[in-house]
Amino acid sequence: MLEVKNLSASVDGKEILKGLDLAMGSGEVHAIMGPNGSGKSTLSYVLAGRDGYEVTGGSVTYMGKDLLAMNAETRAAEGVFLAFQYPVEIPGVSSMNFLKTAFNSVRAAKGEEPMDAMDFLKFVREKTKTLDISDEMLKRAVNVGFSGGEKKRNEMLQMAVLNPVLAILDETDSGLDVDALRIVGEGVTGLRTPNNSMLVITHYQRLLDYIVPDFVHVLSGGRIVKSGGKDLALELEANGYAEYSAEAA
Amino acid sequence: MSTQQILPELSPASQALVAMHGGVPSGDADWLAALRADALARFGQTGLPTPKLEDWKYTDLKALNGANLVRPVDAPAANFGGQAGHRLCFADGRYVAAASKVDDLPGGVTFLSLSEAFMDMPDVLRSHLETADAGALADLNAAYLDGGAVIIVDGAEVTLALEFLATGEGSQMSAFHPRNIVIVKNGAQLTLLESQGGGGVYFANHVTSIAVEDGGRLNHVKAFNHSSEAFHTSLTQVHIGADGYYGSAVLDTDGKLLRNEIRIELAGEGAETSLAGAYLARGGRHTDHTTRIDHLAANTTSRQIFRGALDGKARAVFQGNIVVAEGADGSDGRLANNTIMLSEGCEIDTKPQLEIYADEVKCAHGSTVGELDDEALFYLRSRGVPETQARAMLVEGFVATVFDEFDSLEGVQQLRDGIADWLAGLEPGA
């Protein structure tokens, strides 16, 4: 489903990813854990196609296609979704309008007709129930004045609406209290299907109590330095990243 | 010894505008004939405003010098959009009775064309037509007084529409000068929907004089969608009595050169005004929004928000001045101007000003100029929204919020649609 080979990328001329390898199969959940500055967010932006992140080497094959050749909106249409660590505020654009435009853009890219407004409203209401999102929140401008928990729930709602093939969750647990973490964690788990893969990027193990990974990778110094099963996350929680930082250096 | 006054040399356009005046119409009453003649004489002294004037530093009408200025031809054909309800329609500034609807007006509402009002109510008009202190374009307007509306609302609540269409054809630039007079009496309420547009080459020089008397309320919704060849200047002068209110929501999306000037006098205690404007410009268009608000009485309030987006080589000017007179304590004035630059070649000159002569006031102004937020753009694109559409969404979200306060009014949806229409023509970014 996803094959990252020897990927190197730099930001503002500084090399952050240095030969990263990662292979994910359909329906798998992979967790990437690592200390601050190890390249976690860079990896998520490179996969989502953000301008300014220059790929200097390697390849990314997604569903048999060259992911790096696609622009951000094409990746989204092909089923790649990034849940942002810091969801962006968009004044003057209602959450509902944003969702509908995104949803219909992806449909249009696949040559499908847009869903009409009433059907879409019903469709969204099914998704909002489990995420504890009110109609009032949908009327507000995207993320403007939202609490940290509301912003992350809004990300999960977008994910539920767009139903991605590959969801990348970038530090989705940051800024969440225990209750919000549970809502988000259960929300994500509810979106798991045998066909959808998830790449969960996190500093802490706690999110993985809800989203149980099939594989855990340690990212340090711009490379995957260790891979293992879900127990690796617990080990990292207990021992910290010190030994991997040393290894990278 | 006498000194001979040396007149400034008039520009070709100014000379043409004086020369095409055919003298005072034969049917005019003496007072009106005198008013026109005086106004023409004053304009003959000054000519069109030039960048030498502080207020016109950033907007230059010199391009009119290359135009072949003429009087509009009689009975131009015009296809009016057909505003619902009571309306007055004007083609090249002249009243078109056939397209207008003025029957079954509610009691207390006077709604008629200026030419009819000259005969029916000269005493009411006289003071409102005077332009001695209003500047050269107002003088030019008074010299011609091509047409326009006279509206008086007394003890009523009503929505009325004005539709101005221009039909410039060929290379000749028809110049016309409509004048509206609006009086909202004590406690009355008026929503005035004004649309201006047209095709071809023309110079439309509008003046609107408004009096909102004590406790009156007027909401003025204006859509400017002039021809991309057109020159348009508009002066709106508003005098507001105690506890009166004037609200203005303006959308400006086209016209080669446009100047929308609003002057407000908050003359009675508790008077209030709120001005919202959105300007969108691309190609080589020039747009200018200039306001001046005089807080003349205590406890008066003003709010202004003007936002725009510029693309191509467009140029915008915003000049906003809040003046608080001595003794106007408790005045509260706020002014914001925010512009998004979508291209390298566009330009904005923004000049917010405060002049405060009173002791206890709350006043604030601010202006920002910036580009679209990269992060927000990526956020939308990462959700599948194509780049050009994402840029349009961000601009719309940014600009259209100026109208939020006016959302309950008829006509405001039309302004929002006008923003979306303009954005549908957005080119892919560099």
Q: Could you report the per-residue pLDDT of A46-70, keeping only the tens digit for each?
A: 999 999 999 999 999 999 999 999 9
Q: Which pLDDT value is given to residue A125?
A: 93
Measured in angstroms, the CA of B281 and the nearest CA of chain A are apart by 20
Report pLDDT digits (tens) over B96-125. Answer: 999 999 999 999 999 999 989 988 888 889
- Output A205 or B361, whichever has higher pLDDT: B361
- Where does the pLDDT of residue B360 fall: very low under 50, low under 70, confident under 90, or very high at 90 and above? very high
Average pLDDT over residues B47-55: 95
How far apart CA A125 and CA A128 sit, in angstroms, is 5
In which residue are the tokens 């023409």 written? B40
Q: Tell me the C-alpha distance between A20 and A32, whole Å.
A: 12
User: What pLDDT does B75 receive?
Assistant: 57
pLDDT of residue A189: 86
Q: Looking at beta carbons, which pairs linking B112-115 to residues 24 or more positions away fall under 8 Å?
A: B112/B88, B112/B149, B112/B150, B113/B88, B113/B147, B113/B148, B113/B149, B113/B150, B114/B145, B114/B147, B114/B148, B114/B149, B114/B150, B114/B179, B114/B180, B114/B181, B115/B147
And the tokens for B65?
Answer: 């010098």
C-alpha B1/C-alpha B19 separation (Å) is 33
Residue A152, domain CATH: 3.40.50.300
For residue B135, pLDDT over 70 is answered with yes
What is the pLDDT, as a whole number, of residue A188? 86
pLDDT value of residue A249: 44
Q: Where residue B171 falls among pLDDT bands split at 50, 70, 90?
A: confident
Q: At what angle do helices A117-131 and A178-190 cross, to 10 degrees?
A: 130
CA separation for the pair B112, B128 (Å, rounded): 16
Question: Which domain does A45 fall in, by range?
Answer: 2-248
Query: How many CB atoms neighbour CB B410 within 10 A?
Result: 15
Tens-digit pLDDT profile for residues B392-403: 999 999 999 999
E-strand ranges in B9-55 read none
At A98 the three-state DSSP class reads: helix
Indicate yes or no: CB of A88 within 8 angstroms of CB of B397. no
B chain contacts of residue A164, beta-carbon cutoff 8 Å? none
Q: Output the pLDDT for position B7.
A: 56
% of chain B surpassing 90 pLDDT: 84
Q: What's the pLDDT at B82? A: 65
Question: What pLDDT was estimated at residue A93?
Answer: 94
Tell me, what's the pLDDT at B331?
97
Per-residue pLDDT at B62 exceeds 70: yes
Contact status of A167 with chain B (Cβ, < 8 Å): no
Checking if the pLDDT of B382 tops 70, the result is yes
> What domain count does chain A have?
1
Q: Angle A47-A53-A59 (CA atoms, 0-180°, nearest 5)?
A: 50
The helix/strand/coil state of A140 is coil
Q: Does A92 touch chain B (CB under 8 A)?
A: yes
Are A200 and A208 in contact by the 8 Å Cβ rule? The answer is yes
Q: Tell me the pLDDT tens digit for each residue of B280-323.
A: 999 999 999 999 999 999 999 999 999 999 999 999 999 999 99
Name the residue with tokens 């400034």: B8
Q: How far is B342 from chain A (nearest CA, A)?
A: 17
Compute the nearest-CA separation of A182 from chain B (Å).
Answer: 24
Domain residue ranges of chain B, discontinuous segments joined by +? 30-424
For position A94, what pLDDT does the model report?
94
> Is the confidence at residue B2, as pLDDT, over 50?
no
Contact partners, residue A137, CB within 8 Å, separation at least 6: A95, A146, A150, A154
The answer, yes or no, to whether residue B74 has pLDDT greater than 80, is no
Span B228-250, average pLDDT: 97
With a cut of 60, say whether residue B73 has pLDDT above it: yes
Using CA coordinates, name the residue in chain A closest to B376: A88
Asked if the Cβ–Cβ distance from B384 to A105 is below 8 Å, we say yes
From first to last of the 249 residues of chain A, give the pLDDT tens digit.
999 999 999 999 999 999 999 999 999 999 999 888 889 999 999 999 999 999 999 999 999 999 999 999 999 999 999 999 999 999 999 999 999 999 999 999 999 999 999 999 999 999 998 788 888 999 999 999 999 889 999 999 999 999 999 999 999 888 888 888 888 888 888 888 888 999 999 988 888 988 899 999 999 999 999 999 999 988 888 888 888 865 544
Contacts of A85 in chain B (CB under 8 A): none
Q: Hey, what amino acid is at B378?
A: F
Terminal CA-to-CA distance of chain B, rounded, Å? 67
CB neighbour list of residue A206: distance below 8 Å, 6 or more residues apart:
A173, A181
Structure tokens at B209: 């004089």
